[in-house]
Structure 1
């Protein structure tokens, strides 16, 4: 399924404006402005496609015409073409690097995500891979669509959609009240939200459950400890949600999945190397 993340026209235009807001001087100096041209972008390795729809929109906004592209979320083999287009040279040359930069990052994240999801599901079929909001500023939509294309889901999209209590929150609660009292004072106003509390030890997890936690997010806990902690908490609280976060990457994700958690929370996929793509521009016969 192709992820339907919304990108506005302003988003597409802003990407183009970062690289070529006024004039492509090289194309102009070489008098390549209106020469009929074809463009193709090919992957050198096996990849999972992501943000190809937005790459096609970049082409259109620059004055080119997309012939075909591979839908986001599609796994393709090396030497497969991601996108083909045609149009005047100035349009394709303006779009070229903007498209390539987008696709290299997006396909890199999607491919790494798909690899991790496969590894995790082989280790524990019911364990989910969730990506955090710890990506560089300004690329939330790209990061989200890329992760979705690889088969992950967002841990949370922003501060306003979930209840996740960190130790930093608890440190600011005055001594006269407890976390449980603060939450109880909300009554039923939060009845639609699941309360997750972060913990670093089994004792703090049990304290969080006593405060009303529906789930525990263990942060930077070694899988050897989680093996026993998860089993003990499952025995005592069968309906409890358990997550593992902090330091989870492709090298240890499967091991963490086997601890018995419901999901892995990771930021590492955003730092994956870009996909290796090749761009070809060739003259096209005038019709």
Structure 2
């Protein structure tokens, strides 16, 4: 029997969710809103709809926004579910009418963006597995400022590895600009201590991959030959392919000596899914279609 998927929601510190939700609400509604006064605080109920096909992600962030405005969310569709094309009710939201609408845009933005990232990640992982490659598909730090935690979380919901959460998290990574600036490998080893791995940009392999994408020579052969040479000399070294990898090109980066492929397009190129909030009539019933 396959192991159940991890409860990714539990990875998110509640105080961090509250802090993010408050900052997003402060950005969207920093002043008194006349429309909220017009709606009032009478209890209302609304349906949360998804109108796009994809993977549902972002529920913790959307719920945190509504909780901040005094609302309660009941999820009808579990996080990580594949949503069909058409209108799908994913949750019901109850609370003061003004609170429902005050957090509406923040919650919908979180869901749309996170679900888009999770959908892109799931597609990339599917391509990798259908190619027979068992390595790691990962994101990068090419995330939206102020929204990194949500996008990293969404990568994991889609089945991809979030990669580093910050510049110095988990490893010391020396890219081409670091290497051009100084002879820093020894210094980086000392600064990182024994708790961080050292990653060094392989300019030759990266350059070969760039040639391949532009049709200039046997770049993918060069990439895989370089990976094979690294593994032959240092079998325990992790080889990661990275740099402008698009979904259409992904299969050509997958090989027996490549352990991981990181793709910035999973976050910066993801298309948001379309979510909407539909407030139900005061009597609790649904309008006729």
TM normalised by structure 1 equals 0.81
Q: Which residue of 2 aligns with 1:226?
A: 223
Whether contact under 8 Å (2:48, 2:93) holds in the other structure is no
Return the alpha-carbon distance in structure 2 between the equivalents of residues 37 and 166 of structure 1: 53
More strand by share: 1
Equivalences for residues 79-158 of structure 1 within 5 A: 79-158=87-166
- What are the Cα deviations for residues 40-60 of structure 1, in whole angstroms up to 9, with x where unaligned? 222223321212122122112
- What are the Cα deviations for residues 97-152 of structure 1, in whole angstroms up to 9, with x where unaligned? 11111111111111111111111122243211111112122111111111111111
Match of 2:64 among 39, 47, 57: 57
Return the alpha-carbon distance in structure 2 between the equivalents of residues 268 and 152 of structure 1: 12
Equivalences for residues 1-287 of structure 1 within 5 A: 1-3=6-8, 4-6=11-13, 7-28=16-37, 31-78=38-85, 79-161=87-169, 162-173=171-182, 182=187, 186=190, 190-201=193-204, 220=210, 222=212, 223-258=220-255, 260-270=257-267, 271-285=269-283
SS of the residue corresponding to residue 22 of structure 2 reads: helix
Return the alpha-carbon distance in structure 2 between the equivalents of residues 63 and 179 of structure 1: 52
Whether contact under 8 Å (1:43, 1:82) holds in the other structure is yes
Whether contact under 8 Å (1:24, 1:90) holds in the other structure is no
Number of corresponding residues: 265
TM normalised by structure 2 equals 0.81
Q: Aligned in 2, Cα 1:180/1:163: closer, same or farther, shift over 3 Å?
A: closer
Return the alpha-carbon distance in structure 2 between the equivalents of residues 220 and 155 of structure 1: 22
Return the alpha-carbon distance in structure 2 between the equivalents of residues 105 and 16 of structure 1: 16
SS of the residue corresponding to residue 83 of structure 1 reads: strand
- What are the Cα deviations for residues 164-186 of structure 1, in whole angstroms up to 9, with x where unaligned? 1122222222xxxx5565467x3
Whether contact under 8 Å (1:42, 1:277) holds in the other structure is yes
Return the alpha-carbon distance in structure 1 between the equivalents of residues 78 and 39 of structure 2: 31
Return the alpha-carbon distance in structure 1 between the equivalents of residues 185 and 147 of structure 2: 36
Question: Post-superposition shift, 1:232?
Answer: 3.4
Q: Aligned in 2, Cα 1:153/1:267: closer, same or farther, shift over 3 Å?
A: same
* Deviates most, 98-107 or 40-49: 40-49
Between Structure 1 and Structure 2, whose CA radius of gyration is higher? 1
Return the alpha-carbon distance in structure 2 between the equivalents of residues 179 and 39 of structure 1: 57
SS of the residue corresponding to residue 229 of structure 1 reads: helix
More helix by share: 2
